[in-house]
Amino acid sequence: MNIVDPAIDTYLKGLAASDDTEVLLEMEALAEERGFPIIGRLCGGLLELLACSIGARRIFEMGSGFGYSAYWFSRAIGPEGEVHLTDPDPANERQALDFLGRAKLEAPIRYHVEDALAALEATEGTFDIVYCDIDKSGYRKAWDAGRARVRVGGFYVCDNMLWSGRVTGPIDDLDTEVIDDTNKAIAADEDWRSVIVPLRDGVVAALRLR
Ligand SMILES: C[S@@+](CC[C@H](N)C(=O)[O-])C[C@H]1O[C@@H](n2cnc3c(N)ncnc32)[C@H](O)[C@@H]1O
């Protein structure tokens, strides 16, 4: 199921072409070549916008791959902030450090080559944004752990919440079941105000109210 009509998608991406940089285009080409699921140009812009809107300085990513989503967060936070990246694959760390270094975005980067939830538990303090893009079966545990680590007034953001439309049913696999359960938990949480933005594969932005 196309969540965004392809003509609208092309139109929106045309407008976003002003964000082109050599490194960004290289990352997008690598994702295309490998079939690697990056968050994409439109949701990337949304990540930057959310971070800018609250003056975010401290960001924790669960599932960073080779640094594409961190590129967008890094554009927002500047040299005083920090972006924590997580991924169990050391090859992803090497590539992310290369891309983000060459992009010269100033934001300090800390890459944890381990499971995101273990890294979150081992990292002190609260965050302006916790962002999740790990294996989908881990989404509910990521929300349960991540929601406690976002400061009041900060965001929990998570990609693939519409899962190519599979959440609309019939639901007959674990990943879809967990995503649907997580969507319902976030929507029902009275301490949070949230919306699933139906861009690309659906990204939830949840604001912590209290
Ligand atoms: C969809 S990709 C991430 C893409 C990245 N956020 C972006 O937009 O460019 C998911 C990544 O999460 C990693 N991953 C999956 N489960 C994880 C976990 N439990 N902890 C940390 N990373 C995980 C995978 O190795 C993969 O590189």
Q: What percent of the chain has pLDDT over 90?
A: 98
| Residue 158: band (very low, low, confident or very high) from pLDDT cuts 50, 70, 90 | very high
Residues near 33 by beta carbon (within 8 Å), at least 6 away in sequence? none
CATH number at residue 65: 3.40.50.150
Residue 1 lies in a domain: no
Average of pLDDT values for 113-119?
A: 98
* More confident position, 205 or 1: 205
| Residue 22: band (very low, low, confident or very high) from pLDDT cuts 50, 70, 90 | very high
* CA–centroid distance, residue 106 to ligand 1 (Å): 23
Q: Is the CB of 146 under 6 A from ligand 1?
A: no
Residue 56 lies in a domain: yes
Q: Please count the structural domains in the chain.
A: 1
Residue 77 lies in a domain: yes
Nearest CA to 153 out of 79, 46, 55 is that of 55
The span from the CA of 184 to the CA of 156, in Å, is: 14
* CA–centroid distance, residue 86 to ligand 1 (Å): 7
How much is the mean pLDDT over the chain? Answer: 97
Residue-range definition of the domain harbouring residue 92 = 6-208
Please state, in angstroms and as integers, the Cα–Cα distance from residue 134 to each residue in 22, 111, 189, following that order: 27, 15, 22
Residue 102 lies in a domain: yes
Residue 101 lies in a domain: yes
| Residue 9: band (very low, low, confident or very high) from pLDDT cuts 50, 70, 90 | very high
Best of 43, 130, 133, 203 to mutate for ligand 1, by most ligand atoms within 8 A of CB? 133
Strand partners, 195: 205
pLDDT digits (tens, 9 = 90+) for 30-76: 999 999 999 999 999 999 999 999 999 999 999 999 999 999 999 99
Q: Is the CB of 134 under 6 A from ligand 1?
A: yes
pLDDT digits (tens, 9 = 90+) for 84-108: 999 999 999 999 999 999 999 989 9
Residue 72 lies in a domain: yes
Residue 46 lies in a domain: yes
189 neighbors 165 (Cβ within 8 angstroms): no
Residue 173 lies in a domain: yes
140 neighbors 178 (Cβ within 8 angstroms): yes
The Cβ-side half-sphere exposure at 19, using a 13 Å CA radius, reads 20
